[in-house]
Every structure is written in structure tokens, then in C-alpha cells.
Amino acid sequence: MTTGVGTHEDLRAALRRIDGRGYKAYQDLRGTYRFPGGWELSIDHVQGDPFAAPSRIRARVPAGQAGFPPELWQTRTRRVALCDYVARTAARVIRQMARGRRGSGSSGRIAVDEPGQQVLERTAVVIGPECAELRLSVGLPAQGRRVLGRAAEEMLLEELPRIAAAALYYRALDPHRVRAHVELAEDQEFIRGQLRARGLVAFVGDGAILPRESGVSDRPMDAQRAVPFETPPELAVEFAVPHRGVVRGMGIPAGVTLIAGGGYHGKTTLLRALAFGVYNHVAGDGREWVITDADAVKIRAEDGRRVEGVDISPFINRLPMGRDTRRFSSDDASGSTSQAANIVEALEMGCRVLLIDEDTSATNFMIRDARMQALVAREKEPITPFIDRVRQLYVEHGVSSVLVVGGAGDYLDVADTVIIMDEYRPRDATAVARRIAREYPSGRQPEAAGPFGPVRSRVPLPQTVDPRRSGKPRARHRGVDEIAFGYEDIDLRHIEQIVHPSQTAAIAAALVYLAERVLDGKISIREAVKRVMAAIDENGLDVISPFQGHPGDYARPRPHEVAAALNRLRTLKVRGG
């Protein structure tokens, strides 16, 4: 094993020495090597065999040589955007010189955690006053389980320097594109920071392209097919942002907003864009100017989910057999109980906006119309439908709701704003909706017996959040849909605002950090997650990593999704509530 700092020629000599030996000989490469021009390569972790998780390496350039102007990274928003740009540049260079596999398993592959359509804080690139650092995964090449030293030499001594030269030096980048990327993120964040002061929960800019190219792609639909967003005059607002100037679009006011319209006219497309508007987006995505309150949470029914100790009594009480809904637990929640729990858990974490689509909701949770009220007596119905709580949530807790409705016209009675989507074009139908509500009364009776009431905190019992398996912490992500945590699997399929597998990886690591360093049997779920996020704010995402080297594949999640994962851990037990 290399000690201290070697040179690139030391690395070359080591690779030639171990060529043809057993794969574990690659362990000799761990260490740091200085290359011509003053940049360094650190080999932090070497995989055990060619079929194991890839090796982890870092290319690091001193700040003075990297040359990134300090004004591009001295605020969090700018630093995140700059690092995002560098990661995209590295990914593009890697694709351009891709050679495919060179030997067994994942041999010969160089990879960076490549961003998607959103601009997220990531561990793939670090830029600051000391250095610019690129963190990569490398499949060290082998034939069978024998070292392919010459192929590794090509990767580490020829290809890697080209990647570093193209991505880690400001002079190699287009300065106008870099600044445009950073300034766009800053403008988006500016609008998000102004929403509450303007009495808005979201903003959709004129010309936005909301549809995606397919159901499995997050890229925009071709501009020749898509209908650009046009703001209804009644809802038009303008923001004077720092760099672009004035941006005009539709403001969605705080309160209760309905998105109505015929099937396939863009209702769900708009709501999905709002759900992802909690993140900044890259230029050309089409949703650059779709900006949503950072504490907006998409809610749906989730049959079969685990619920632990949640006070769902504002929505459901008087269950048969006297079952207590003030501390409701279930290993197999129904659609209505799961949706109620999802809302209360979101409120517990400080949600400010609920985003709900009729299509993914439990019908009996959303509405009980006049005919059903006549058929089933109120005292025999345990559900207080959402329609009778949505106004209370806003009045008592300042929580707005944006709902897609296609069949529940009774919601016209509680709406502050009604937007109709007509062939992907919005129009303000608030006045028409109010007239219709007056002329065609629904006949239903409100069923909320009292106020919504306080949202109670729950305290996790530390021994029930155990990531250990065979004595060691184990938390691994599987795409965006699942986390293996200790002996349990956490199902995240219905947590719709996770946009990248690297967020899931960070959530898994955050749960381990929370379990081993935060939970004490006294603090609430919200406070525990806040402490994890505060540690990330202070020390970066590296703080939650179990790796002694670098975690190059984390992207920052929101506290809402971290809590959502914890709430779906089937061993979780709480007190309070």
C-alpha cells in the first residue's frame, strides 16, 4: 500500500508490478498520487473483486490552479449550481470516451454521479477555498479475477487526467455557460424565497413546457408537440429576479386551489410539475420557472403501508371495536387511513402545501356526497372527509392545498381559486365555479364536528430503529423505490418527490446517522430529522457517510422524504402522538 504522496510514475510502476496477479493486489494502490500540473489522485477504496461495488477515487486540484472565481461558490445556492455544472461536464466527457467493459464484472468503467433534470446538492463535486474535487467510481479492470494492469494504466493515467483537465479547471469551461447555470439557479431560488411574502404557494412561468417526453422519462416533450404554458390574466404575477430581469407567469395563491378540466387536458401534468417545483431545474428542462414552496408535499393513498402511532382522529374516528385513532397503528393501512396518516405526518414535519390528485386518492377519504350521507348515517361513518377539513387546515395551521379534481364538484364550495386546464392551457374559472356552486347546491352537510386541532409530535424509540445486520450497520438503496435497512426493506414507491437514486442513497445514510447519533428516546421525529439536516448544513453530506473515503453518490434529500422513509420502517415504534 502506498504511504504518503507518490507520483503518477509510482502509480504506473505499481500497476505494472501487479499486472496479472490476483485481484486483491489492487489494494496496493490505495493512497494519493501527484500528477503533472499539481493535481492529485486519491484512491480511497478498492473493491474486493471485479463484481463488487466499484472502487472510489478522487481527483483534486488546488483552488489557485482550478481558478474558479470565489463569487461563483461563496453562497450555498451558487456553490450547488457550480458543482452541478462541473458534474455534468465530467459526465459528458466520460460518455464521449466510453470504452465499455474491459474485462470481468464492471471492469473498465469510470462513472460520476450524473445529475438529472434537477439541480441538487451532491457529493460528486466539491468546490471551495481549498480545492476543486471530483469524486468518481471506477471498476478496476480484471480478466476473471486477475489484474489487468495495462488497462488500469490506461484508465488512471490517460483517461482520468483528461476528465480532470476538462472539468476541474475553470479555464477549460465556457465561462458564459457556467455563469448562466449559476445565475438561473439563483433566480429560481429568489422566486421561491419570495412566494410566501407574495401570498403564493407556487409560480408557473409563461412558456413553460410541462409535459415530459414519455411516462418513463423526466426530459421535456419536444417543443413542437408540447403546448407552452400561457398565464391566465387574472392570475398573472411578475418577479424581478436578480439576473434575468422580470419573469411573468401564473401565481397560485395560498388557500384552497382546485385544478379541474377534462381528462387528458393537463391537470395531473400541472400538479406533477408543481410537486417537482420544490427543486431548481436546468435550462432547457421546460420547468425552469415552475417554482413551488419548499415545504410542499405530494399526498396520496398508499394501501398496505405501515403506520405507527399517528393521530388520524381529525379524519377518522369511531372505528368499530373502539379502536383508538389518536394513536393509530397498522401493518396494512387502507387507502383512507394511509392517506390520513400521510397528511398528518406531513403536517408533523412542517408541511405548508398539500398537493393531492383525485386519481391517486381514496374516494371515501376525499368526499361523501349528499346521497351517501342520506344512505349511511353520520354516526355509522368513521371518516370525516378531506373536503370538511381542507379549509380548517388553512385557517388553523396556514396549510394550503392544491387539488386536482375531475369528478368531485362539491369541492367548488370550499375553493378559493379554480383553474381549468383546457388542452394544456389554464384559465381562471373561479368566478364561474362560485356561480355554479350557488346555482347548483350540492345538498351535502359538513361533517367536521370540531376544529382540526393541534398536530402532535411523536418520539421514536431508538431500539426500534436498528440499521445493524450481523453486528454492522447496513443501509442500501435500490433505485428510488426502496431502502434495505438492517433486516427490513423500506418501500418508497409512493414517495413521489424523490427524483434521483442518489437522494435515496443519502436518505439511507441519514437514517443510519439518525439511529446511531441522534435518537435518544426524548426528541421528536421532526426534531431528530432537523438535527440531521443541521449537521449536513454545517459539514456537508459527507457527515452522514459511512465511508472513510468519499461518498460520491449522495444527493441531498428534503427533510420530508427522510421522515417519510422513517415512518415506513416497519419496526418503528413511537410514544406520544
Contact 438, 364 (CB under 8 A): no
For residue 548, the model assigns a pLDDT of 60
For residue 416, the model assigns a pLDDT of 98
Cell of residue 73, nine digits: 461558490
Contact 132, 124 (CB under 8 A): no
Global confidence as pTM: 0.95
Q: What is the rounded distance in angstroms from the CA atom of residue 41 to the CA atom of residue 31?
A: 8
Helices (H), 428-541: 430-439, 501-517, 525-539
pLDDT digits (tens, 9 = 90+) for 146-192: 999 999 999 999 999 999 999 999 999 999 999 999 999 999 999 99
Helices (H), 256-414: 267-276, 335-348, 363-366, 370-375, 390-397
> What is the three-class DSSP state of 519?
coil
Q: What is the rounded distance in angstroms from the CA atom of residue 401 to the CA atom of residue 390?
A: 7
Q: What is the rounded distance in angstroms from the CA atom of residue 298 to the CA atom of residue 402?
A: 10
- What CA–CA distances, in Å, run from 2 to 27, 419, 490, 525? 9, 65, 40, 44
Q: What is the rounded distance in angstroms from the CA atom of residue 202 to the CA atom of residue 274?
A: 7
For residue 424, the model assigns a pLDDT of 94
- What CA–CA distances, in Å, run from 8 to 23, 40, 65, 138, 142? 21, 9, 18, 17, 21
pLDDT digits (tens, 9 = 90+) for 508-537: 999 999 999 999 999 999 999 999 999 999
Local confidence pLDDT in tens for the 577 residues of the chain: 445 689 999 999 999 999 999 999 999 999 999 999 889 999 999 999 988 889 999 999 999 999 999 999 999 999 999 999 999 999 999 999 876 666 666 778 999 999 999 999 999 999 999 999 999 999 999 998 899 999 999 999 999 999 999 999 999 999 999 999 999 999 999 999 999 999 999 999 999 999 999 988 999 999 889 999 999 999 999 999 999 999 999 999 999 999 999 999 999 999 999 999 999 999 999 999 999 999 999 999 999 999 999 999 999 998 877 778 999 999 999 999 999 999 999 999 999 999 999 999 999 999 999 999 999 999 999 999 999 999 999 999 999 999 999 999 999 999 999 999 999 999 999 999 999 999 999 999 999 989 999 999 999 999 999 999 988 899 999 999 999 999 999 999 999 999 999 999 999 999 999 999 999 999 999 999 999 999 999 999 999 998 765 788 999 999 999 999 999 999 999 997 5
